[in-house]
Amino acid sequence: MRAVRNESAMKLLKVKTARFSRVVEKCGKPQAYTLWQKPAADRHFQAQIKKNRVVTILKSESGTDFGIVGFKQRKGATYLVFPKSLKRFADMRIVGIDWSRVRE
């Protein structure tokens, strides 16, 4: 019975991962983007989302940062805009975020 309880408490990721350094290597150095208005009203940001250039950075339960390609509106999320499309990383979790490689 104890083994069953431990198994259900442990989560396994079913998604592939990509290193942030590889994403930067393929798609260029990103720029942090601050939303000063509602995302739907920000035409520049909407254009970047349609071109698949936005990554949403979230914190995991353990406190480490990870990214998801696309715009996910969440409290405490950070958004990065890349110069090239991120389509090849679309269904991946981006790990190993190196904030020194982000343009101000």
Residue 5 has pLDDT above 50, yes or no: no
Longest CA–CA span in the chain (Å) reads 55
Give how far the C-alpha of residue 51 lies from the chain's centroid of Cα atoms, to the nearest Å. Answer: 15
Q: Is 48 in contact with 69 (CB distance < 8 Å)? A: no
Tens digit of pLDDT for each residue in 33-68?
Answer: 999 999 999 999 999 999 999 999 998 888 889 999
Q: What is the pLDDT of residue 103?
A: 78
Residue 8 has pLDDT above 60, yes or no: no
Among candidate residues 16, 94, 2, the one with its CA nearest the CA of residue 55 = 94
Handedness of CA 55, 59, 65, 68 (dihedral sign): negative
Amino acid identity at 85: S
